Amino acid sequence: MNAPLLAIEGLNLRRGATHVLHDLTLDIRRGEIVALIGANGAGKSSTLQAISGLLRPLSGRIAFDGPDGAIDLTRLAPEAIVRAGVVHCPEGRQIFRSLTVRENLMMGAYPRTDRENLPAELDRVHELFPILAERAKLAAGSLSGGEQMMLAMGRSLLSKPVLLLLDEPSLGLAPQYIERIFDVIEQLRSQGATILLIEQNAAMALEIADRGYVLEHGRITLTGTGADLARNDEVRRAYLGDLG
C-alpha cells in the first residue's frame, strides 16, 4: 500500500563504449538509510548520476513518489529533479572554490521559492556545522578537506532534500571528520530524512544503514538489511577486508 519513495526498475546505462548498469532494480522507503556498496568502477556513482539526471539511461524507470506526486525522473532535467526534492551531494564534494562559504550555501538554496524559511534553515546548518558560520565570508577553496565536505553537506541540506544522495562523503577525510559526518547522517535520519549512501567505508555504511545493496560490475548481486550484509561471508571477504 505504501509505495517506496524511490523505485528504480530495470535501469540500463551506457557511458561511452561501456555498458555500466545492467537491469538495475532497487528501492528506498521513506525514512530509510540505504547503503550501496561495491568495488571501484562497479557503477555506484553512475547510479546516482542517473537518479539526479546527469546521465540519461538507455532504458528503465526511476519512479519518485515525492511531495508533488509520482514522477519518472528519467524524463526530467537535473534542475527539475532538484526541485522535486532529490538532492545529490556528489563524489569529490564539488564545492565552488572561488565562491565564499556563504555563497556556496546559498547556491544550495538556489531553486527554492520559499525563501522566507532560509534564514532559519541557514541557522540550522550552522548549528550542525559551526565552522561554516565562522568561515562564512572566506573563499570555499581555503577550507580543509573535511570542512569542504561539511560545506557540501550543508549546501545539500539547504536544497531541502526529500531524498538525499550521498556519494562517498568520508572519502579522504581524517577520522574525526568521518565521525562527524556519520553523526550528522544519524541525526538527519532521526529527523525523518531518507538517504541513499555510497561508501568506500562499507563497514561504517552497513552499520548505519537499514538496508544495503551490493553492486558488482553494474549488477545488483546481493541485498538485505545492513546487519545481514555485514554478517554475509562474501561481503566480509570482498568489502570488509575480512580475510578469514
Ligand X SMILES: Nc1ncnc2c1ncn2[C@@H]1O[C@H](COP(=O)(O)OP(=O)(O)OP(=O)(O)O)[C@@H](O)[C@H]1O
Q: Which three cell numbers stand for residue 201?
A: 567505508
Of residues 10 and 92, the one with the C-beta less far from Mg ion: 92
Task: Indicate which single residue of 5, 8, 11, 20 sits in contact with ligand X (rule: CB under 6 A).
Answer: 20
Reported as half-sphere exposure (CB side, CA atoms, 13 A), residue 64 has a value of: 26
CB atoms within 10 A of CB 41: 12
Contact between residue 73 and residue 140 where contact means Cβ atoms under 8 Å apart: no
By CB under 6 A, is residue 15 in contact with ligand X? yes
Q: What part of residues 136-195 is at the interface with another protein (CB under 8 A)?
A: 141, 155, 159
Shortest distance, position 112 Cβ to Mg ion, whole Å: 28
Helices (H) and strands (E) in the chain, counts: 10, 10
Spell out the residues 6+ positions from residue 65 whose beta carbon is closer than 8 angstroms to its own: 3, 4, 5, 6, 7
By CB under 6 A, is residue 38 in contact with ligand X? yes
By CB under 8 A, is residue 107 in contact with another protein? yes
Shortest distance, position 171 Cβ to Mg ion, whole Å: 9
Q: Which three cell numbers stand for residue 47?
A: 547510479
By CB under 5 A, is residue 45 in contact with Mg ion? yes
Shortest distance, position 46 Cβ to another protein, whole Å: 14
Pairing of strands 33-38, 69-72: unpaired
Shortest distance, position 138 Cβ to ligand X, whole Å: 29
Contact between residue 82 and residue 57 where contact means Cβ atoms under 8 Å apart: no
> What is the per-residue DSSP string for 221-233?
EEEEEHHHHHH-H
**Mask 184-223, x = binds Mg ion (CB under 5 A)?**
----------------------------------------
By CB under 8 A, is residue 57 in contact with another protein? no
Beta bridge partners of 33: 195
CA angle 17, 21, 27 (to 5 degrees): 160
Of residues 99 and 136, the one with the C-beta less far from another protein: 99
Helix (H) / strand (E) containing 33: strand 33-38
By CB under 8 A, is residue 47 in contact with another protein? no
By CB under 6 A, is residue 202 in contact with ligand X? no
Residues near ligand X (CB under 6 A) are 15-16, 18, 20, 38, 40-46, 91
Residues near another protein (CB under 8 A) are 52-54, 78-79, 82-83, 87-88, 90, 92, 94-99, 103, 106-108, 110-111, 141, 155, 159
